Amino acid sequence: MCVNFTPPTHRQLLDGFGLDATGLEWRAETWQDYTAPIITAGGLLLASYGFIPKPHLPPGVRLTTMNARAETIGEKPTYKGAWRRCQLCLVPMQAFFEPCYETGRAVRTSISLVSGETFAVAGMWREWQEPEGGVSHAFTQITINADQHPLMKRMHKPGDEKRSLVILPRERYGDWLACREPELARAMLAPFPAELMQAAPAPVKSANAQ
């Protein structure tokens, strides 16, 4: 399960997605409850990573909602409403991180495109009413089984189910954002070609504002 990624810079967001994020700020790496840019049918938003941000959890409840399983997204109480309404988004990024255990221990590994280009993964978003009266936004990334994926099956602990984010082909961005039928959206949740992806060890870096 992906819990950390590198969002695009302002320049990359403009060059790769045609979106001007002037006035918005986000950190160089995204972790739970950090804000990052997402793309919805209505345009660019700055949203919190995790469908239920910590401030909106009941006291004493701990719940991780950074990833939503494609197989159960339409049934889980946390996600089913937004899924059935097709509140879909693109999560643009430079890379995401997974643990690789091929050496016998967890090695933080960066997953990116061979081309070096930015890309976007399939996500879902929602609004939150804030106590002071404002509105905030949050998102989750959708994952699929990757037991047979040549690259992603190398990630995670031995014996654990292999999962992957859904990298969407650039030509499907518009289809994903415009989709209003959950089952049509589900049909777009497919593995990305392994030959277009690359993996490399990536030590943890400090998260600095861009």
**Structure-token pair, residue 196:** 């277009």
- Is a pLDDT exceeding 60 seen at residue 209? no
Separation between Cα atoms, residue 94 and residue 41, nearest integer Å: 21
Give pTM, 2 decimals: 0.95
pLDDT at site 145: 98
> What integer is the mean pLDDT of 196-203?
95
**Structure-token pair, residue 172:** 């499907």
On whether the CB atoms of residues 92 and 7 are closer than 8 A, the answer is: yes
The pLDDT-based confidence of 205 (bands split at 50, 70, 90) is low
The answer for residues whose C-beta is within 8 angstroms of residue 186's C-beta and 6 or more apart is 70
What radius of gyration do the chain's Cα atoms show?
Answer: 16
On whether the CB atoms of residues 28 and 205 are closer than 8 A, the answer is: yes
Over residues 41-96, the pLDDT tens digits come to 999 999 999 999 999 998 888 899 999 999 999 999 999 999 999 999 999 999 99
> Residue 139 CB: number of other CB atoms within 10 A?
27
pLDDT at site 201: 96
Residues belonging to the chain: 210
Contacts of range 187-195, beta carbons closer than 8 Å, 24 or more positions apart:
188/122, 189/70, 189/122, 189/142, 189/144, 190/144, 190/166, 191/144, 191/146, 191/148, 191/149, 191/152, 191/164, 192/164, 192/166, 192/167, 194/149, 194/150, 194/151, 194/152, 195/114
| Residue with token string 């918005």 | 24
